Amino acid sequence: MTLDPQARWILDVIEESGKPALNEVSAVEARKMYLEAMATLNPEKPDVYRIEDRTIPGPARHIAIRIYTPKPTDDEALPVLVFYHGGGYTIGDLDSHDTPLRALANESGCLIVSIDYRMGPEHRFPAAVDDCYAATCWVFENAATLGCDAARLAVGGDSAGGNLAAVVTQIAKRENGPKIAFQMLIYPATDMSASSESHKRLSQGYRLTGDLIKWFTDNYISPEDYGDVRASPGLEKDLRGLPPALIITAGYDPLVDEGQEYARRLNEAGVPATFICYQGMIHGFFGWWGVFEAAKQAISQAAATLRVALRKK
């Protein structure tokens, strides 16, 4: 396995910048740095038919959302993807993931609702889970008003957002909540203990370091809660009856083993799960649509999968 030249390039840029690691500054400063980096890596934004920012009721406060509506088709109602951004439950927002979601909306034909959930260290576990599940319920209940089809609802996210998407599907199943048709998990975290072999093998040198993972985790959750399946969905014993999944990972990502194992267990439980690993890539690549060919390819693959999974029956 060889590191992709574009991945090598971004690692060199980070090293040569002389900037501190995210875990070496405050959460507020880290959010600013992350947003600036994402803007640099996505210099141009694809046009989308309509984008709307609004707020919806949440369990503790109103939740900001951004709705991406692709060009209308002959369908009376569009399929919908509820998306939870990545960022270690600490950084990221509606703007950090704006460009890849524009591209995904255009290519998938899905209406996408991006969720700005509460994050640590200000709001710790399970605040993010509560917000994401409440927002998903709201989309499901208000589908007709939004112009989408509640019977063709998917959830998805990258990294921490992939974790939250997996968690939301499990809660919906346990609580007989929204009927989720599909889950799109991009390099998801599934076990807060970070004990897989890839965490040990790839803990240094590939952007998402062991120290950064620990900082993110400590901001979000206490060790005594690692075993809660709302934090570590990979620990759920019964995965039967969950929606089909697409799991995309990267070969040089400490989370790769978690994603692969979760896909294996879903399939073992009778849940169709497609596992795709971009062998030469590093964590975060899915969001770098503006400069990474692998990001464009992964978004196109995800879009094509969503089109098939959410087609009218």
Q: Any catalytic annotation for residue 228?
A: no
Nearest C-alpha neighbor of 31 from the set 88, 85, 91: 91
**For residue 40, what are the contacts with CB-CB under 8 A and spacing of at least 6?**
none
Sign of CA pseudo-dihedral 48, 156, 34, 289: negative
β-sheet bridge partners, residue 250: 278
DSSP letter for 79, please: E
> Which residue's structure tokens are 């969503």?
306
Supply the DSSP string of 226-242, one letter for each residue.
TT-TTT-GGG-S--TTP
296, 101 in Cβ contact below 8 A? no
**Cis ω before 121 (30° cut-off from 0):** yes
Q: Looking at 85, 123, 199, 283, which residue is catalytic? A: 283
Spell out the residues 6+ positions from residue 185 whose beta carbon is closer than 8 angstroms to its own: 156, 157, 162, 165, 166, 245, 246, 247, 248, 259, 262
Q: Is 85 a catalytic residue?
A: no
| Residue 253 appears among annotated catalytic residues | yes
Catalytic site residue from 159, 196, 198, 232: 159
β partners of residue 81: 112, 154
Catalytic residue IDs: 159, 253, 283
